[in-house]
Amino acid sequence: MTEFEIFRQMGAVSRQATMAMNEAARKYELENNLFLYLIRIVENEGLTQSDLAKLIQVDKTTLSRALRKLAERQYIVKVVGEENRKSKQLFPTEKGRQSYQFLEKIEKEYVHEQMVDLSATEQTELLRLLTKVGQ
Amino acid sequence: MTEFEIFRQMGAVSRQATMAMNEAARKYELENNLFLYLIRIVENEGLTQSDLAKLIQVDKTTLSRALRKLAERQYIVKVVGEENRKSKQLFPTEKGRQSYQFLEKIEKEYVHEQMVDLSATEQTELLRLLTKVGQ
DNA sequence: AGTCAATAGTTGTATTTGCAACTTTTAGTA
DNA sequence: TACTAAAAGTTGCAAATACAACTATTGACT
């Protein structure tokens, strides 16, 4: 069954990538997926915690404590929304933006290495198909 | 950059699937990815722990303890290899095989639902491209 | 205005996770 | 045969994870 294989392959590739990136992010004290959260915050300044949770599909309580850690370590700041006081908006600090530069480079290298066997056309097609998964 | 998006999309889809499957596997006491390990053991009887770790890309110490749990709960048995006493081969019990039937159904339903927007041709192409990622 | 439900986020707590370090077994090789 | 390195698996321990349950804010409906 092809459907099975697709998800299983995605799972293995993703777990491998997560392990590799956490390993690499370690020297910046951004292991345990902290790198993942920081990257998204830099690229989407001002998004809320629940926005981020939906974006990367992670448990909100895990995210809450991870973001506290990122804030303690001065990579981000959490700001209570002015008009909507329920949510907290996330912004990178200067330190966060600097670390992002390094993380981005690491991610780029890793991803590029994994994709060498796919042509540009194949990559475009792969992305197109992936975005059709799960509505 | 397309390469980035591919991995990020895979990550989100995979995490979502993992959460959904763990939620569903809960009533069989097979949460925390135990379902994942059991499925692979039933489908690849006799594989070793390190085989399994490579197959699904998970940390070997995490796997070691998870498999102990699976064995304690009588879903699998661990057998020291006859010719190679370094490794332990994994086999499902009858109970393990029965649970597999339910898990397979849940996985099939979930996966199918996620793939409704892709034609059979697209699914085949998606799998082909995915298997080219990371050699 | 008042009630109710939904949304956003945090905290309590038990369990899981994963790095470091360890044992055991095997393979290579001098 | 003995030495060394690699491979397979386990355990100690500190930290992360995630389910329940909670507070706080907002929106909807009467």
**B18, A11 in Cβ contact below 8 A?**
yes
Contact A57/B15, CB-based, under 8 Å?
yes
Fold of the domain spanning B2-130: Arc Repressor Mutant, subunit A (1.10.10)
Virtual CA dihedral for A49, A53, A59, A64, nearest 10 degrees? -20
Report residue B9 CA to chain centroid gap: 19
Residue B135, pLDDT score: 72
Helix (H) or strand (E) holding B104: helix B94-114
Mean pLDDT per 10-residue interval, chain B, length 135 residues: 93 95 94 97 97 97 98 97 90 98 95 96 97 90
With CB atoms and an 8 Å threshold, state whether B111 touches A6.
yes
Pair of tokens at residue A32: 């345990």
Report the footprint of strand D: residues with C-beta closer than 7 angstroms.
A 32-33, 58-59, 61-62, 65-66, 69, 83-86; B 19, 22-23, 31, 48-51, 53, 60-61, 64-65, 67-68, 78, 86-88
Closest CA to A105 of A11, A28, A45: A28
Q: What pLDDT is recorded for position B129?
A: 97
Those residues of chain A that have pLDDT short of 50 are none
Nucleotide closest to residue B22 (CA–C1'):
D18
Which of A71, A33, A72 has the alpha carbon at shortest distance from A53? A33
C-alpha to C-alpha distance for A8 and A28, rounded to whole angstroms:
31
Nearest nucleotide to A61 (CA to C1') is: D18
- What whole-number distance in Å separates Cα of residue B100 and Cα of residue B38? 7
Q: What are the phi and psi torsion angles at B28 (to 5°)?
A: -100, 10
Residue spans per domain, chain A: 2-131
Instruction: Judge whether B37 is closer than 8 Å to chain A, CB to CB.
Output: no
Confirm or reject CATH 1.10.1270.20 for domain A2-131, answering yes or no: no
Res B5: pLDDT: 94
CA distances from A100 to A72, A114, B8, B126 (A): 17, 21, 16, 31
Instruction: Please list the residues that pair with B89 across neighbouring strands.
Output: B48, B79
Q: Quick check: B10 and A13 CB within 8 A?
A: yes
Q: Mean of the per-residue pLDDT values for chain B?
A: 95
Q: Decide: residue A78, CB within 10 A, 0-12 exposed, 13-18 middle, 19+ buried.
A: middle
Non-local (6+) Cβ contacts of B76 within 8 A are B38, B41, B67, B70, B90, B91, B92, B93, B96
B11–A17: do the CB atoms touch at under 8 Å? yes
Give residue B1's pLDDT: 78
Does residue A34 come out as left (phi exceeding 0), alpha (psi in the -120 to 50 range) or beta? alpha
**Residue reference for tokens 């959460």:** B19
* Residue B80 CA distance to nucleotide D9 C1' (Å): 11
> In terms of CA atoms, which chain A residue is nearest residue B59?
A19
Model pLDDT, residue A1: 78
Distance between CA atoms of residues A53 and A46, nearest Å: 14
